[in-house]
Amino acid sequence: MHAVHEATPDWHKLEPLRPAAERLYVERPAAVDIANWLRDGRSVFLVGPVGVGKSTELDHARTLLGNEHRTGAINVDRVATTNPLTSNLVLSHVAQCFADDEAPYARAVLDRVQRGDPAAQSELSDLLIRVSRSATTGRRKPVAFIDGLEKRGSQTQLFEELLAAFERYEDHLSFAVVAPFHAAYSPVGARFLAGSARLTVVAPIQVDGVNADAASGQAFMRGVLERRVGAALLASAPSSFNACLALSIRFSGGIVRTFLQLVADAAAHARLSRSDSWPTVDDINRAVGEQRTSIRRLLQPGDEKAIRAARGTDGREIELERKLRLLSHGILLERTANSGPVITIHPIAEELFTKHA
């Protein structure tokens, strides 16, 4: 049995599934500029693989705006409703964020929307415009931050209705939205984005290689870990942990949640299998194998052939719906090279497509 190292980290603080609180925020090597677009009166849509850090960047942008704009935040994944989520229900919660003196009336409108009252549509529209005007300071429009749409699954009609609503109210409100890939690339999304809205891709961090970009990405990942468990504690880690950390960064594919999950799972294996406080390379490899099994379960018929054909191309070799699904799950990653975008396979998934190549 391994001896427990004197300095014992609390690996539960990693919390891979939670967006980083502002005190834990680490600036990405390639900054994601959301706040300045919102200051310019634009709406911003964030897309990217699950776990890449979109919610964290959304929360950070709201912090950067400070008191410059009135802001409201809605996580639609936490909207309590016994009926299917609708665009009007989301907009009712937006109205409540800025209702102030009209809060009781906004609540009444929300109740009617939840009951499916047809008259609530025009009341909601008038209310949204009215509270948005009262929340405008100078020429600075209020900003509604909306998260959680990804977790609602493939509800194309809902997303298209929301996109149409954002377009309808863009003179009165700016929206900062974590959007599913397929919604942003739908015909309605394309029309809205062709106007004043901005599409921002939160890409995986570059961590593979020996160049300056990779070094910055690796330092970023280590910084994320230091913020969560403590820099002094990591500095006192056994020397064997350095190889463990390097391996977890490489297998993360530059996706923050994957990195944190690998370290958390490896630490759990170390604790449960031999009462050790620090994971080893073997623990990381075990965690990688478990995530590879999870990825295998996400694959659908035809994916393997399509992924092999798309690897190393700009992505035109794969039909759009399949491409967006694989990108959203982080099975495929889109990197930027000198010649343009290049599709790669997530390093954890790579073995699934090279073992029998």
pLDDT in tens, 8-66: 889 999 999 998 989 999 999 877 889 999 999 999 999 899 999 999 999 999 999 98
pLDDT at position 184 is: 66
pLDDT of residue 154 exceeding 60, the answer is: no
Tokens describing residue 230: 């403590």
Evaluate if residue 6 carries a pLDDT over 70.
no
pLDDT band, residue 101 (cuts 50/70/90)? confident
Q: Kindly report the pTM of this predicted structure.
A: 0.90
Share of the chain above pLDDT 90, in %: 62
* C-alpha to C-alpha distance for 61 and 281, rounded to whole angstroms: 36
How would DSSP label each residue in 87-126? HHHHHHHHHHHT-GGGHHHHHHHHHHHHHT-TTHHHHHHH
Rounded Cα gap, residues 63 and 38, in angstroms: 12
**H-run or E-run covering 343:** strand 340-345
Task: Give the pLDDT of residue 356.
Answer: 53
Which tokens go with 340? 């343009």
Q: In angstroms, rounded to a whole number, what is the distance separating the alpha carbons of residues 335 and 146?
A: 26
Domain spans in the chain, listed from the N-terminal domain onward: 11-19+205-298, 31-201, 303-354
Query: Mean pLDDT in the chain?
Result: 89
Query: For the domain 31-201, what is the CATH superfamily, name and number?
Result: P-loop containing nucleotide triphosphate hydrolases (3.40.50.300)
Higher-pLDDT residue of 183 and 108 is: 108
CA distance linking residue 335 with residue 314, whole number of Å: 9
